[in-house]
Structure 1
Amino acid sequence: MKLQQVLSYTRRAVDDYQMIAQGDRIAVGISGGKDSLTLLYALHGLKRFYPKHFEIHAVTVDLGFQNLDLSRIDELCRELDVEYTIVKTDIAQIIFEDRKEENPCSLCAKMRKGALNQAIKENGCNKVAYAHHKDDVVETMLMSLIYEGRFHTFSPVTYLDRTELTVIRPLMYMNEADVIGFVRKYNVPVVKSPCPADGYTRREYVKQLLRQLNQENPGVKERMFTAIQNGKMKGWEYGCNKPE
C-alpha cells in the first residue's frame, strides 16, 4: 500500500469523526510495532496539507526489557523532524519478576497507559493517537461478545475525564493487511516486541478466529464493521451513515 492511500484512509477517518481541531498537539503512542509506526507516518503526512494546523509528538513507554532497541525509531523521528520522548519504566520487572503475574496483560496495559498519559501531559499535548485499525475494532467487538456478553468496542474518539485527554484512532478504516503492505513497501523500521506474553493472549485467539471466519465467509469482517458503525453505540454517531 502506498503512502497516499494511507493518507486517504486517515483523512477520511479524521474528517468523519472530527478527530482533529485547529491547534491540537497530538501525542502519537509508539510501541515500535507496525501499527504505531504506520500511524506516525500517516499523521506526519497529513500534517503537511490538512487545513487545520496541528502538531505531533511521538512517545514510547519503555517497559524495561533489556533487549529493546529503540535507536532506529529515534532515527526515524529525527528524519521526520518529529519530537520523540522515551519514558523509562520498570514495568517489566514489576510484572514478570516481582509479581510474577500469570495473566500480565491487564496490569501491564494499565501501568503503561498511566506512564504514557503522564508523559503526554508533561509534553503539553491535549490528544493522543492510538494505532487501532479496522481489525482491532472488530476483534474488540468479538472479544466483548464472547467474554462479556455485550455488543461493544472502543469508539473513534474518546474523552478521558481523569486526564482531560482525548483519544483518537485515525487508522480505524485501514485493514491490518493494508498496514502490513505499507510497512513492507517502505521498509518501516519495526521493532519486535520483547514481551514474553506476546502472541499468547485472548486477543490473539480472537484474531485467529476472525481470520478463519473471514476465510470461510468472505467479507464477514467488513459486514461486522458496518454493523458496528450502524449499531448506535456511543461515540460512533458521526460516521454511522458514511459510505464504506
Structure 2
Amino acid sequence: MTMQKLLSKARQAINDFNLIEENDKIAVGLSGGKDSLTLLHILKNYQRFSPQKFELIAITLNPGNVNNDSLHKLCKELDIPFYEIQTEISKIVFDIKKEKNPCSLCAKLRRGALNDAAMKLGCTKVALGHHKDDAVETFVMTMFYEGRINCFSPKSYMEKFNLSLIRPMVYIDEYMIRKAALQYNYPIIKNPCPADGHTKRQEVKNLVKNLGGEFPNLKDKLFSALNNSDELFIWDKEKIKNM
C-alpha cells in the first residue's frame, strides 16, 4: 500500500504540472539517499502504467571515494541504465575553497555536473527527489535568510542545457518516504558530507517541526500558502500608491 500511496501523490504532481511528456528521456539524480532512491522506484513503477512512454536512466555523482556498488546492483535489478560520474566536488569545496558554509557551492557544482552528464546522455529531463517538506523548508528559509518569498519550482527549464528539471515528489510528505525506505529496505548510502546535519536547512527543519507542535497543521498550511497564488498579496509600492 505504501508504494500505491506514493504513486498516487506523484501522479497528481505529474498531471498538475505536466512533468512527463511523450518520449521523454528522464535522468534521475541518484545520490543514494532515501529521497532519490524512493523517486527512482516511484518512476520505475509509474513507467508501467504511464499514459506517456518515457525512458528512465540514473546518474550518480561521486564526490570522491564513495562506494556506490549497491546502486550499481539496484539499477541492474530494476533494469535501469546507470551512470556513475567521478568528480572532485568534495576536494574543491573542502580542501581547495575551504568553504565554511559549503552547501551553496556544493549544490551549484553538483547541479552543473548532473545537468552536463544528462545533456551528454541525450536526456530531456532531470528528476530530483525534493519532497513536500523540502518545499516548505525552502519557502521558510528564503523568507528568514533572504527576505523574499520564493521556492524551487516543480518544473523549470534550463536553457543552457536544453533540459527541464522536474520534482515529481513535491506532494509527498517526508515521513512517507522514510516509511517506504524502511519497508522496501532501500540500499541507502550514508551522506559522506562533513556538514550533513549541521546546516541552515537542518535548523529550519527543526524549527518547522517544533512550531508544528504549537500551531496545528502548520506544515500543510505553509504548503497551501505556497500553492495559493490567487491569494498572494504583497506590498507593491507603485500599485498601492496609485490606488
**Category of TM-score, reference length = shorter chain:** over 0.9
Look up the match of 1:205: 203
Q: Which has the larger radius of gyration?
A: 2
Letter in 2 for 1:35: D
Structure 2 counterparts to residues 161-240 of structure 1, below 5 A = 161-231=159-229
Query: What CA distance in whole angstroms lies between the structure 2 residues aligned with 1:91 and 1:169?
Result: 23
Query: Given residue 149 of structure 2, which amino acid in structure 1 is its aligned partner?
Result: F
For residue 40 of structure 2, what is the aligned residue in structure 1? Answer: 40
Deviates more, 1:95-104 or 1:197-206: 95-104
Tell me how far 1:213 sits from its aligned partner.
1.3
Deviations 1:53-108 (A, max 9, x none): 001110011111x3x22111111100000011000011111211122221111111
Secondary structure at 1:109's aligned position in 2? helix
1:232: how far off?
Answer: 5.3
Task: State the 1:218 CA deviation.
Answer: 2.2
- Tell me what 2:26 maps to: 26
The alignment's TM-score, normalised by the length of structure 1, stands at 0.92
Aligned to 1:216, the other structure's residue is in SS state coil
Counterparts of 1:136-151 in structure 2 under 5 Å? 136-151=134-149
Deviating above 4 A after TM superposition, structure 1's stretches of 4 or more consecutive aligned residues are none
Q: What's the counterpart of residue 238 of structure 1?
A: none
Once residues 216 and 81 of structure 2 are traced to their aligned partners in structure 1, the CA distance between those partners, rounded to angstroms, is: 42
CA spacing shift, 1:232–1:143, aligned 2, 3 Å:
farther
Whole-angstrom CA distance in 1 between matches of 2:230 and 2:158: 20
Residue 6 of structure 1 pairs with residue 41 of structure 2: no
* In 1, Cα distance between equivalents of 2:89 and 2:68: 17
2:114 equivalent in structure 1: 116
- Structure 1 runs not aligned, ≥5 long: 234-244
Aligned residues: 231
Distance 1:93 1:172 in 2: 32
What letter is aligned with 2:28? Answer: V
Distance of 1:187 and 1:165 partners within structure 2: 32
Deviations 1:211-236 (A, max 9, x none): 11112222110011111111359xxx
Of stretches 93-102 and 141-150 in structure 1, the one that deviates more from structure 2 is 93-102
Q: CA separation in 1, counterparts of 2:67 and 2:190? A: 9
Which aligned pairs between 1:93-104 and structure 2 lie closer than 5 A?
A: 93-104=91-102
Per-residue Cα deviation, 1:129-166 (whole angstroms, up to 9, x for no partner): 11110000000000011011111111111111221110
Letter in 2 for 1:76: L
SS at match of 2:26: strand
1:152 is aligned to 2:150? yes
Tell me how large the CA RMSD over aligned residues is: 1.2
Distance in 1, Cα, partners of 2:42 & 2:160: 28
1:16 maps to a residue whose letter is D
Structural mapping, 1:68-79, within 5 Å: 68-79=66-77
Where does structure 2 lack aligned partners over 5 or more consecutive residues? Answer: 232-243
One-letter code aligned to 1:58: A
Q: Secondary structure at the match of 1:166?
A: strand
* Aligned residues of 2:119 and 2:162 also touching (Cα < 8 A): no
